[in-house]
Chains A and B, each alone.
Chain A
Amino acid sequence: MSEARKSQPVHPLNSPLVRATDLSIDVPIYRTGWQTALNRLPTVVVKSVRGDLPRPGVVSLNLRSAKLAIRSFCFPQPDTVHRPAPKLERPQSRCGMRGGFNSKTRMTPPVDVVKLEERLWYLLQPSLEELLADGSLSLPFHPFPYQFAGVAFLFPRYAAVLADEMGLGKTMQAITALRLLLHAGQVRRTLLICPKPLVTNWQREFELWAPEIPLSVIGGNASSRAWKWQLPQTVVTIANYELVQRDQDLIARNTDGYDLVVLDEAQRIKNRNGATAEAVRSVSRRRSWALTGTPVENSVEDLVGIFEFIAPGHLSSGMRPSRMARSVKDYVLRRTKDQVLTDLPPKLVRDAVIDLTVSQRRTYRQAEEEGTIRLTAMGAGVTVTHVFELILRLKQICNFDPVTGESAKADRLIAELEEITASGKKAIIFSQYVATIEELAGRLSRFDPLEYHGKVSNQYREEVLRQFREEQSKRVILMSYGAGSVGLNLQNAGYVFLFDRWWNPAVEDQAINRAHRIGVTGPVTVTRFLSQSTIEERINEILIEKRELFDTIFSAQGQAPKNMGLSQREIFGLFNLHSPQGPISGSA
């Protein structure tokens, strides 16, 4: 309180009088027992605390993954392989250049390729359209999508049967697949085996689709052939079946063998025990392709024969057709025109039922009765050959009466040809017999027909075909099934006549498809002559059964008709004869 007073400001003038009064009051402290604590000094207790706290537990999470496992594949490049130099300049307008194809057709490895690296090599190839867009691989025409699919089927396969219906372009597909394999360095040497009449056709097709591939055609005398067989640099060698059989020993001397052997019309080796089949199978090769429009001609055994070439042991004799269908699934590609060529002009097939002339009928009945009596009289000594002889005779009577020369078929044919030629169209007439063709040539002389059969020399055959294709005045060609049913392109014919019926529907189809194939510009009318109430009607019933057999093997269901083969019993049954049962081959 006194301190407060001292700090008061001093006012010298007129300052009020301030009196300080000591207000402090003494408060005596009486020591009592409990108050002594007030005078006691406090006790200070010091506690020590450690500054380093205990280390916290740490959980480490490994965010780095373990080293990744990698599988690597390096593929060989074709640069180290012979690449044939182009022989011809190709026009730039051809398809296959940039933007030429819109669809993409990829290859898939077949099941029999088991090595992963090889499977991936096929799988990693670009689409065929892109491969063929390479300038050096351009094509003269834009292939159909199914043809790309066919090439993609062949390319990766070591064993393949391309069994497209005739006229779908098996030749082009095989050449293109071969060409791609050559460019990829997968094959160096190829042997193409085909029927003799088709050698020039293959040369023509190679020139069209792969002009850069050098060809060597086996021919000439023995020493010339020996030299050609041993040529080491030949890329593609073309030989016919007969020469392969004849030169079997020469081929065997070639120790390197072939990377690829292609069989055209592979039904030629359907007989496994035949010399041709054995010769073809003896050729050393890595890849085996078979091309055929008729993989089953007579029986499923035909297919077994073909498989003995492409994949020996894969099929066996006596296999049930349904099982066979499953076994061949990855090896066989079969398409029909109905499936893939929806834009192809239609094929109109009609059966022209012919009533024999009176004299023909008389001659026919007489021959049938006499023949049947003779066969019956032979008893157990009768053979299939005897039956065939009778069939042959009866069929020829159906064509021409040997006594009077009358022919209801020829009369009908002439009437049809009048109309056809008047409209500027062309026609092909098929017969089984050269004698019939020669007889018809005389009857049809007003149409100036061409002839193409076994009696026409090889040198002249090409000229015959050229005339039919190119000359307007040549509107009719007479062909034998044997010479003219395979490999020929005669799309300029709008009409096909089957003057008599072949024993095998596949051969008939081949004949028809000379005209009804890619490139045909209009509908093809097929007329099958059928003499009423004759052996031809009975044979026609057998042909229908054979078609069922074919459909069984190459249909998805694979359900076989029980009665599919043509047995001796059925042959003899044509004349109500009895014989030992068993399979039969041959043609009437």
Chain B
Amino acid sequence: MSRANTKISNALGFLSVVRDTESSRIGGLLLINASGRPLEFHCTAPVKPNRAQEILYGPTLEEYLCGEQIGHVLHAEIKGTLDLLLTDVQEMLVLRHLIGQPLVLIRDGREASGEPGKNGDDDLAQLVRLERDGITIATRFEYEQDLALASEMIDSLETALDLREPFTRIHEAIHEAQGGIRKQTAA
């Protein structure tokens, strides 16, 4: 798809999951504009799988929780227009089956290239990917076109965004929101 044909409103969604406890997960979705300013933020209550889910979903439990449960619900909450969804959780890629927008995984380039002590190629072996500006962008083979779309959208941004940085914001906001909720509950 040529850039001229790409209609971009420059709203990027960043989707992440943090572990509240060993088995509890909290999802967060941050929608930002082209300047990186926040447009929307949505976060879930803690999600804890029950024992049956742990046994029966087996190795697919994370995909179920992250993609089908957390990711899908958060995506449904978006009020504005979403052009591209980015995640730092590989298991979230299963969400792509359920949504219409491109979804890509963002990894630190060194991490993805398999430096010692890091998750290497094996981790992303089942994905199609490209490297740009020190980061790896990956997606499922069946959605290979998402890579080109994502790359084009990122290039079209006027401001050079560090695509890893918004995930830090999400993590901090989740902790803040959880703290705030706890305070409100205690009050």
Name B's A-contacting residues (CB within 8 A).
30, 32-33, 35-45, 47, 49-50, 52-53, 56-57, 69-70, 73-74, 77, 79, 158-162, 165-166, 169, 172-173, 176-177, 180-181, 184
CA distance A133 to B159 in the complex (A): 7
CA distance A73 to B78 in the complex (A): 10
In the complex, which of the residues A63, A69, A127, A135 contacts B158, with contact meaning CB atoms closer than 8 Å?
Answer: A135
| A72 / chain B contacts, CB cutoff of 8 Å | 40-42, 77, 79
A130 near B180: Cβ-Cβ < 8 Å = no
Known: A63-B57, A121-B38, A131-B36. A116 touches B176 (CB 8 A): yes
The minimal Cβ–Cβ distance linking B38 to chain A, given in whole angstroms, is 4
CA distance A71 to B73 in the complex (A): 11
Can you offer 13 A-B residue contacts whose CB atoms are under 8 A?
A63-B53, A69-B44, A70-B44, A71-B42, A72-B41, A72-B42, A74-B40, A75-B37, A75-B41, A123-B176, A125-B37, A126-B169, A130-B161
B73 near A70: Cβ-Cβ < 8 Å = yes
Closest 4 pairs (CB-CB, A-B): A126-B36, A124-B38, A69-B45, A98-B160
Nearest A residue to B53 by beta-carbon distance? A63
From B159, B162, B173, residue with most partner A Cβ within 10 Å: B159
Task: Identify 7 new A-B residue pairs, CB closer than 8 A, beyond the known A70-B44, A71-B45.
Answer: A68-B47, A70-B73, A123-B169, A124-B169, A126-B35, A133-B159, A134-B158
Residues of A108-153 whose CB lies within 8 A of B: 109, 116, 119-121, 123-127, 130-131, 133-135
Inter-chain contact total with CB atoms closer than 8 Å: 112
Known: A77-B39, A125-B37. A130 touches B159 (CB 8 A): yes
| A133 / chain B contacts, CB cutoff of 8 Å | 159-160
Nearest A residue to B44 by beta-carbon distance? A68
The minimal Cβ–Cβ distance linking B81 to chain A, given in whole angstroms, is 13
In the complex, which of the residues A61, A77, A123 contacts B173, with contact meaning CB atoms closer than 8 Å?
Answer: A123
CA distance A106 to B180 in the complex (A): 20
CA distance A98 to B56 in the complex (A): 49
| A70 / chain B contacts, CB cutoff of 8 Å | 42-45, 73-74, 77
CA distance A385 to B77 in the complex (A): 72
A62 interface contact, C-beta 8 A? yes
CA distance A77 to B56 in the complex (A): 45
A65 interface contact, C-beta 8 A? yes
| B172 / chain A contacts, CB cutoff of 8 Å | 106, 123
| A253 / chain B contacts, CB cutoff of 8 Å | none
Known: A62-B52, A70-B73, A123-B172. A130 touches B38 (CB 8 A): no
A220 interface contact, C-beta 8 A? no
In the complex, which of the residues A62, A109, A116 contacts B177, with contact meaning CB atoms closer than 8 Å?
Answer: A116
A99 interface contact, C-beta 8 A? yes
A184 near B37: Cβ-Cβ < 8 Å = yes
A71 near B176: Cβ-Cβ < 8 Å = no
| B79 / chain A contacts, CB cutoff of 8 Å | 72, 74
Nearest B residue to A72 by beta-carbon distance? B42
A75 near B169: Cβ-Cβ < 8 Å = no
B40 near A75: Cβ-Cβ < 8 Å = yes
Known: A71-B181, A126-B165, A134-B159. A120 touches B41 (CB 8 A): yes
From A124, A125, A133, residue with most partner B Cβ within 10 Å: A124
B42 near A68: Cβ-Cβ < 8 Å = no
A104 interface contact, C-beta 8 A? yes
CA distance A67 to B47 in the complex (A): 10
From A62, A119, A123, A127, residue with most partner B Cβ within 10 Å: A123
B73 near A130: Cβ-Cβ < 8 Å = no
B180 near A125: Cβ-Cβ < 8 Å = no
Q: Mark A39-67, 1 if CB is under 8 A from B, else 0.
A: 00000000000000000000001110101
CA distance A77 to B40 in the complex (A): 10
| B47 / chain A contacts, CB cutoff of 8 Å | 65, 68
CA distance A443 to B47 in the complex (A): 82
In the complex, which of the residues A63, A78, A98, A116 contacts B180, with contact meaning CB atoms closer than 8 Å?
Answer: A116
A74 near B180: Cβ-Cβ < 8 Å = no
CA distance A285 to B32 in the complex (A): 30
The minimal Cβ–Cβ distance linking A212 to chain B, given in whole angstroms, is 16
CA distance A73 to B176 in the complex (A): 13
Known: A72-B40, A72-B41, A73-B41. A120 touches B56 (CB 8 A): no
CA distance A307 to B70 in the complex (A): 46
B40 near A71: Cβ-Cβ < 8 Å = no
CA distance A71 to B173 in the complex (A): 12
A61 near B30: Cβ-Cβ < 8 Å = no
CA distance A116 to B185 in the complex (A): 13
CA distance A321 to B82 in the complex (A): 53
From A62, A70, A121, A135, residue with most partner B Cβ within 10 Å: A70
The minimal Cβ–Cβ distance linking B51 to chain A, given in whole angstroms, is 9
The minimal Cβ–Cβ distance linking A144 to chain B, given in whole angstroms, is 21
From A75, A99, A121, residue with most partner B Cβ within 10 Å: A75
CA distance A184 to B180 in the complex (A): 24
CA distance A69 to B57 in the complex (A): 22
A63 near B160: Cβ-Cβ < 8 Å = no
A68 near B180: Cβ-Cβ < 8 Å = no
| A106 / chain B contacts, CB cutoff of 8 Å | 169, 172
